[in-house]
Amino acid sequence: MAENGTMVTEFVLMGFRLQAELQIGLFFVFLAVFLITMGGNLGMIVLIQSELRLQTPMYFFLSHLSFLDICYSFVIVPQLLETLGTDKMIITYERCTSQFFFFTLCASTECFLLAVMAYDRYMAVCKPLLYATAMTPQTCLGLVAGAYAGAMVSSVIRTGCTFSISFCKSNHVDFFFCDLPPLLKLACRETREWVIYLLAFVVITTSISVILISYLLIIQAILRIRTAGGKAKTFSTCASHMTAVALFFGTLIFIYLKGNMGKSLEEDKVVSIFYTVVIPMLNPVIYSLRNKEVKEALKKAFNRMRVSQAD
């Protein structure tokens, strides 16, 4: 409901409410980030599919991470650019619901997928003799399907609970997309927000628990290695994933598990920009710059391009 008692049929996204010059500058910055994100993640998927040496479970999971980052960008960035170009933007109730669902689906799937990737690193480091038989293509496919299925269930419930709320204060969303904290600020008192927060808590804590347990066991295995070179080599196989985990979960925890969630929306906007816009651009960089196999595959791909152009 709106203040006059009528049903809300649309929301007004207020965006950043900056000076016109700053909004224009941000528009071109985020447009550049969007194009880099698309190119980097599509390039990573193509590289993994075309290089035989990258046909391993770790890179299979990485290709799905790149796919999720592309989806993130399509769900958030075009609308972000529209709000920057028009100062504020009207969005229908149905489109807001759809955006919330797909955003939640992408975020939840990425949580579960990062946990699956941590388990994969645990098997590779701690159970190397069993790795090939344990992490078969069927097993990898099943783990990825489980990540998507778990995220789908969570997203359906969270979206249903969120949009069963009566919005009686206003239809002006002080944010750049339909996220949970700004929507709840418009809600009447009789909400089931504890269910929504509980689901976010379960998804994040379950994923982090799997990651922490996996890396505790990995650290134990690394400490048992006698040579410094062996320790460094083993650790390097996990470094990229650890960096991605720290960036992604650090921002999610700040948004969803902090004590003042939704009370400082300006602060939340900056953090949300980081994990919805910046991190999808950074992930291909993290995995290419800190991964020897990816760098070698990139060199081979560039060499083939040069040869084909010379011919």
Instruction: Report the pLDDT value the prediction gives residue 101, as an integer from 0 to 100.
Output: 95
pLDDT above 70 covers a percentage of the chain that reads: 84
Q: Which residue has the higher pLDDT, 246 or 310?
A: 246
pTM of the model: 0.88
Fold of 10-310: Rhopdopsin 7-helix transmembrane proteins (1.20.1070)
**Alpha-carbon span 91 to 104, nearest angstrom:** 18
CA dist list (Å): 179 to 2, 54, 170, 189, 255: 19, 36, 15, 18, 10
Q: Which pLDDT tens digit goes with each residue over 45-103?
A: 988 888 888 888 988 999 999 999 999 899 999 988 888 877 667 888 899 999 999 99
- Average pLDDT of the chain is 82
Q: Which pLDDT tens digit goes with each residue over 291-308?
A: 677 767 667 766 666 666
Instruction: Report the pLDDT value the prediction gives residue 211, as an integer from 0 to 100.
Output: 94
Q: Which pLDDT tens digit goes with each residue over 137-170?
A: 999 999 999 999 999 999 999 898 888 877 776 7
Which residues touch 145 (CB under 8 Å, ≥6 apart)?
none
**Alpha-carbon span 74 to 102, nearest angstrom:** 10
